[in-house]
Amino acid sequence: MPPSYTSSEKVIAREALEFLSSHAPTLLNEAKTGSLNITIEEQAISFRVPKKAFNELIRNLSNMSQGSNNTLTTTQVANRLNVSRPHVVKLLESGVIAHTKVGKHRRVKVSDLLAYERRL
């Protein structure tokens, strides 16, 4: 069963997601290594985070802001439908299957995938 989030947690997650998503392309493009340097000026601390962990943070904030963690990557959708990932991307971009974007990454709600399967 997916975790349950309070309305306050969803709002905070949405605000953090909007902030990080707007800065993510710049942060990820500027990172020359496989990590990002993050600084919290109020506490004068700085630390490194792997790019993959940053992407997971974005994904988790997206899920939390929607109130669930029931989203799939394009690869997971392709595996479930037994088609190629590029074919899934075409379905998403043409609007056949609803999706959201987190940075450059597409995410599909399980309920949207199930609705598409029912239409087939």
Together in a domain, 61 and 26: yes
pLDDT at 84: 95
> 3-state DSSP: the chain helix, strand, coil percent, rounded to 5?
60, 20, 25
* 99 domain residue, yes or no: yes
Domain count, the chain: 2
pLDDT at residue 72, as a whole number: 85
Q: Give the model's pLDDT for residue 1.
A: 36
pLDDT in tens, 71-89: 888 998 998 899 999 999 9
Say if residue 80 is in the same domain as residue 50. no
For 38, residues 6+ apart whose C-beta sits below 8 A from its C-beta are: 46, 47, 48, 49
Mean pLDDT for the stretch of residues 84-111: 91
Report the amino acid identity of residue 26. T
Helix (H) or strand (E) holding 67: none
Q: Cα–Cα distance between 43 and 26 in angstroms, integer?
A: 23
CA within 13 Å, CB half, 72: 21
CATH number at residue 111: 1.10.10
What the block records as the tokens of 20 is: 């990080």
Residues near 118 by beta carbon (within 8 Å), at least 6 away in sequence:
none
Kindly state the average pLDDT of the residues 91-109: 91
- Is residue 19 a part of any domain in this protein? yes
Determine the structural domain holding residue 39 and report its residue range.
7-66
Per-residue pLDDT tens digits for 33-59: 777 777 778 888 888 888 888 877 877
Tell me what pLDDT residue 88 has: 96
**What strands lie across the sheet with 100-102, from one edge to the other?**
71-72, 105-109, 100-102
Is 97 contained in some domain?
A: yes
- Cβ neighbour number for residue 57 with a 10 Å cutoff: 15
Residues 6+ apart with CB under 8 A from 92: 74, 99, 106, 108
